[in-house]
Structure 1
Amino acid sequence: MRILTISLLVATMTLTACGAVRESRVNPLNWFGGSRSTPVQQKTAEETNPLIPQTTRGGLFSSARDAAREYLGTPIDQVSGLVIERVPGGGIIRVTGISEVLGIYDVRLTPADDNEEVDEDGVLTYRLEGVRPARVVRGGTERQRTVMAARRLTDNQLAEARVIRVEGRLNAQTTSRR
């Protein structure tokens, strides 16, 4: 018991000594000095992004990267839910759908038109699509066939849209600005 008391007393005295040597280099809080501002030299020759390489030589996988992959999704049968959640800088469209078959994957919200623009009536339209598996399995419960997808929109996109519409194969869900 005496050894425990002495070792606790020594540890306590050692820790309190750090306050006495506040400006000392022994104190671990002083190992890195305070920050200070220094001017930055401006480059005026040209504006280049240092993160983008300037070489035109292709890499090992450049041919695979150049090939544009086409999305092979087909519309999901029913759109069962549509929720828009506010996030800083915009919103997230979260859509729930029910497919006809099991195993749908790579579910996306794709723009109904090519340029993802709001039409003249203020309607922003998306399609809920997913890729069917090679071997189609019909049946299963509704919960097993339920799929979800989400898409982020900026404040500018939301400001232009009065109505957001998500279409499936059999129905569509819409939500409007309050």
Structure 2
Amino acid sequence: MKKSFTVLLVAALTVSACSGWRDSRANPSNWFGSSTPADPVETSAYDADALVPEQKDGGGLFSGTEPEDISVPIARIDELRIDPTPGGAIVYAAGTAARQGAYNARLVRTESEENQKNGVLEFTFRVNYPNKATNQGTERSRMVSDAINISQKDLESTRLVRVVGEQNALESRRR
């Protein structure tokens, strides 16, 4: 009876000491806060080199031309969530397309020296639309989502994760 009471007492004290873990900075679920609205980054639609194709190295004997990217940024970003994993994190974004039929949703990483210097991991949420005209439809019927896995190595230098759409952007800061 004394042994079981002692084991029960030690177990209760051990479990009660775990409440400090919830608010600890070492807890991976506390690494990023909730998403907040941010202004979209302005890009010049009238770039002087917009029609000049990029030269790619390493064209092989059987390499063909890559298909043209006809995707566009999604109309509005509605949700940004970052879920920690043992090997890094999963960035989940949901948005509303301008019209029905959006497909091939993907988060495309935006590389820039300024982002790397400031510890910003930026993605553009891009979708494709059908060639034929489609109805606008209800907001619920235009919802699209995508997620991307980020490695622990990329997260080490990241202070901010931003997902950009056509009308808005959401970002989440590291605590």
TM range (shorter): 0.5 to 0.7
TM-score in terms of structure 1 length: 0.59
Q: Which residue of 1 aligns with 2:111?
A: 113
Aligned-residue offset at 1:122: 1.3
> Alpha carbons of 1:89 and 1:119: their partners in 2 closer, same or farther (altered >3 Å)?
same
Aligned-residue offset at 1:113: 2.6
Which of 130, 136, 140 does residue 137 from structure 2 map onto? 140
Q: Which residue of 2 aligns with 1:94?
A: 92
> Alpha carbons of 1:118 and 1:156: their partners in 2 closer, same or farther (altered >3 Å)?
farther
- Superposed counterparts of 1:6-45, under 5 Å: none
Aligned-residue offset at 1:85: 0.9
Q: Distance in 2 between matches of 1:86 and 1:118?
A: 22
TM-score in terms of structure 2 length: 0.60
When Rg is computed on C-alpha atoms for both structures, the one with the higher figure is 1
Note the residue ranges of structure 2 that are not aligned, 5 or more in a row.
Answer: 1-59
Tell me if structure 2 keeps the 8 A contact 1:109–1:150. Answer: yes
Which of 124, 127, 145 does residue 124 from structure 2 map onto? 127
SS in 2 for 1:119: helix
Q: Distance in 1 between matches of 2:104 and 2:139?
A: 19
Q: Distance in 2 between matches of 1:119 and 1:77?
A: 26
* Aligned residue pairs, count: 116
Q: Percent of counterpart pairs with the same letter?
A: 31
SS in 2 for 1:120: helix
